Amino acid sequence: MLSDSKKGESLTSKYRAFSYSEILNITENLKTVIGEGGFGKVYFGILQDNTQVAVKLLSSSSAQGYKEFRSEVKYCIC
């Protein structure tokens, strides 16, 4: 998960960190939108081990901030 306004930064969890280029690969260049919320769109992706994942990106037009986005990400991966 990564803010599109912070493309050079990866979010690290105790599980794994992904760069923006890895996210593009996982989601086939953000091909399939599976949802949308206050932070922005959620995309379908597949990891190299064939695990299906949802990838949420913070939209630069989001009314919610980066700090709130990081808090939600931390909640989702715990």
Please report, for the domain that includes residue 35, its CATH number.
Answer: 3.30.200.20
Asked whether 42 and 33 are in contact (CB, 8 A), the reply is: yes
Q: Quick one: pLDDT at residue 64?
A: 67
Of 6 and 35, more confident: 35
Residue 6, annotated ligand binder? no
Q: How many domains does the chain have?
A: 1
Asked whether 52 and 44 are in contact (CB, 8 A), the reply is: yes
Which residue's structure tokens are 């930064």?
9
Domain that holds residue 32: 2-77
Mean pLDDT of 60-77: 66
Q: Quick one: pLDDT at residue 66?
A: 66
pLDDT, one tens digit per residue, over 13-55 is: 456 778 899 999 999 999 999 988 777 788 999 999 998 988 8
Of 43, 17, 15, nearest to 29 (Cα)? 43
Asked whether 43 and 33 are in contact (CB, 8 A), the reply is: yes
Confidence label for 9 from pLDDT (cuts 50, 70 and 90): low
